[in-house]
Structure 1
Amino acid sequence: MEDQLDLFERYEWEVSGGLSGERLDKAVSSRNEDWSRVRVQEWIKSGLVLVNGRAKKGNYRLKEGEMIEVLVPPAEELQVEAEPIPLDIRYEDEDVLVVNKPRGMVVHPGPGNYSGTLVNALLAHCKEDLSGIGGVARPGIVHRIDKDTSGLLMVAKNDRAHQSLVAQLKEHSVERVYVAVVHGVIPHENGTIDAPIGRDPAHRQRMAVIHKNSKHAVTHFTVRERFSGTTLVECRLETGRTHQIRVHMKYIGFPLVGDPVYGPKKNAYPIEGQALHAQVIGFTHPRTGERIRIEAELPEDMERLLHFLRARQ
């Protein structure tokens, strides 16, 4: 065991300020956004989390000046299998692939989702032709959209293409247009939300508009159609933060219809998951320099939602 502990990452810090009186499991999980509460609780049960050198239960209340020590076990090597899952491919050549992801599909493997992901499908379709920059779990993945968001994603088939597309994302030259249905009737025709996004300190699985430990985030929106109590909007991303459109629209008082995290608890509309679709992707081709622009029609569930909203006007 001592030899194995050499492979563990060790973290140590003193309890101070807001951590005094906090539960041990919550305090440790808030230390690092990659440390989920469930994962931390497993470490606590395994004796990998110590307070003043002693193991404690997850509900132990911390005291000012105590020392917390965490031993993070080495990551297990992930084996990602190719799976013959049908893909809706909208563009493909030797460098780049654009796929229209269905709602409900996870982009890459992770805890609780080791199969049935877009990466599993891409490995079957592309064989060895995917960039390796994203690592074993994320071959070819340049950017992501949420599980319950549908729409267009760029995929890099080699490292040169990957580096080019990532650079375009960083310089904000990739066109990304989303369509969403939000609660409330937006009175103005368009607007820009310039508000930083970071991990919600009260709910570590969520994001929020906060000014500490956050990143610059900008969303431009335009009203497409108004209904009784809801609005169809077009959102253009200037930046690409986690849950950006969902968080920004909630921030200005118009959360997405069907959003189980940022919207009302009760969903009274005929759609499962947030009504959000990545409709347009535009980028400069990494090899030819040609401007590529792909547009995907709304999925059936969003069309049904719009029909429902129009019918009850």
Structure 2
Amino acid sequence: MKTTPKSSQSTVFQVESPDTLLNFLLEHVKNKSRNTVKGFLSKRQVKVGSKTVTAFDYALKPGQTVTILPPADQRAPKLPFPVIYEDADLIVIDKPAGLLTVATDRERDKTAYRILTDYLAGPGKEKPLFIVHRLDRDTSGVVLFAKNQEMKEALQGDWEDLVDRRVYLAAVEGRPPEERGTVKSFLRETSTHLVYSGAPGNGAREAVTHYEVLARGTGCTLLSVALDTGRKNQIRVHMQDLGCPVLGDKKYGGRAGDMGRLGLHARELAITDPRTGKQAVYTAPAPKEFRKLFPEALG
């Protein structure tokens, strides 16, 4: 891997066998003197996972990531959202509600994709970033991007089989008829891009949503929602079918609600990493609007 510790771009290495930090850096950072590499540590430019480490003899374990940051005065601006995980091939973020994942005809610059591209590349430079999946503008939570073409193809080519679990928090109006249940339907889409449950057949896509009640509030309920399928607007349509539209979802039968946003958050994404064959789980904590409405369940 090419290292660029003096640019505005961070360099990420994957630990494959037990080692000490300085020895690992000396083996992986090419064309740099021992004193320069030691300087990365003393200047607090090295992270193991999310932790800044300065100790030369820090013990590394397989599966960890080691990141070399550029000097403080050359680093890219701080991101407006948390990074859940990053390595040489992937970056996973907690997208806030109100931010598009990717560009549309009406908005091309204010997107998670554009912000991340600028962040990874640094000022005045370009670096590829690839969409793997997406969330609606008003849904918050876990979104995964690929940092190279090979990873994009490995994930997208077999995405439905690689995804082991997709779990959302849904704040909905009213109360579902049961504490837990499953909604199944065939989803269709109108020419105006409204998704609805309709008859099976040509153009229809089967969708399966499982839900479980986590807490009840005044006129609303907090659900944990797990998807067997990842269809467009699937949860929003199925909650409408259940008679409990998502809070704030005026498009699918809801009222404005008390949250000030759509009551939908992608809490967990578990996938089989195509590089290792092992499961990787990425989680995003409940946003403050959810915690405020359901403090006993979410703290």
| TM-score normalised by the chain length of structure 2 | 0.67
Within the alignment, does 1:253 sit opposite 2:238 as a pair?
A: no
Distance 2:198 2:108 in 1: 32
Structure 2: runs of 5 or more not aligned: 1-75
The answer to whether the 8 Å contact 2:172/2:247 transfers is yes
Q: Which amino acid aligns with 2:237?
A: V
Partner of 1:295: 283
Distance 1:258 1:197 in 2: 21
Q: Which amino acid aligns with 2:282?
A: I
Q: Which amino acid aligns with 1:218?
A: V
Distance 1:308 1:171 in 2: 35
The answer to whether the 8 Å contact 1:179/1:234 transfers is yes
The answer to whether the 8 Å contact 2:212/2:223 transfers is yes
Q: Which amino acid aligns with 2:178?
A: H
Identity between Structure 1 and Structure 2 (%)? 33
Q: Which amino acid aligns with 1:298?
A: A
Partner of 1:278: 266
The answer to whether the 8 Å contact 1:101/1:150 transfers is yes
CA offsets per residue over residues 173-193 of structure 1, 9 Å max, x none?
A: 332100001111123121111
The answer to whether the 8 Å contact 2:162/2:272 transfers is no
Within the alignment, does 1:179 sit opposite 2:169 as a pair?
A: yes
Distance 1:209 1:172 in 2: 26
CA offsets per residue over residues 254-304 of structure 1, 9 Å max, x none?
A: 11011121133x42x322232000000111223222321122111112222
Aligned pairs, number:
217
Partner of 2:95: 101
TM alignment of 1:170-209, pairs within 5 A: 170-171=160-161, 173-200=163-190, 204-209=192-197
The answer to whether the 8 Å contact 1:84/1:121 transfers is no
Task: Indicate the larger mover: 250-259 or 289-298.
Answer: 289-298
Partner of 2:16: none
Runs of 4+ in 1 over 4 A off after TM superposition: 82-85, 307-310
Residues 251, 161 of structure 1: alpha-carbon distance in 2 compared, 3 angstrom cutoff: same
Residues 83, 242 of structure 1: alpha-carbon distance in 2 compared, 3 angstrom cutoff: farther
Distance 2:229 2:171 in 1: 20
Deviation of the 1:90 alpha carbon: 0.4
CA offsets per residue over residues 19-41 of structure 1, 9 Å max, x none?
A: xxxxxxxxxxxxxxxxxxxxxxx
Partner of 1:164: 154
Deviation of the 1:83 alpha carbon: 9.2
Partner of 1:47: none
Q: Which amino acid aligns with 1:234?
A: S
The answer to whether the 8 Å contact 2:163/2:269 transfers is no
Within the alignment, does 1:148 sit opposite 2:147 as a pair?
A: no
Q: Which amino acid aligns with 1:169?
A: W
The answer to whether the 8 Å contact 2:142/2:267 transfers is yes
Partner of 1:66: none
Q: Which amino acid aligns with 2:279?
A: R
| TM-score normalised by the chain length of structure 1 | 0.64
Distance 1:168 1:227 in 2: 39
The answer to whether the 8 Å contact 2:267/2:285 transfers is yes
Distance 2:194 2:272 in 1: 33
The answer to whether the 8 Å contact 1:83/1:120 transfers is no
Partner of 1:73: none
Deviation of the 1:163 alpha carbon: 2.1
Distance 1:309 1:234 in 2: 11
CA-based RMSD of the aligned residues comes to: 2.4
TM alignment of 1:10-25, pairs within 5 A: none
Q: Which amino acid aligns with 1:207?
A: V
TM alignment of 1:1-313, pairs within 5 A: 85-127=79-121, 129-130=127-128, 139-171=129-161, 173-200=163-190, 204-211=192-199, 213-264=203-254, 266-267=255-256, 269-307=257-295
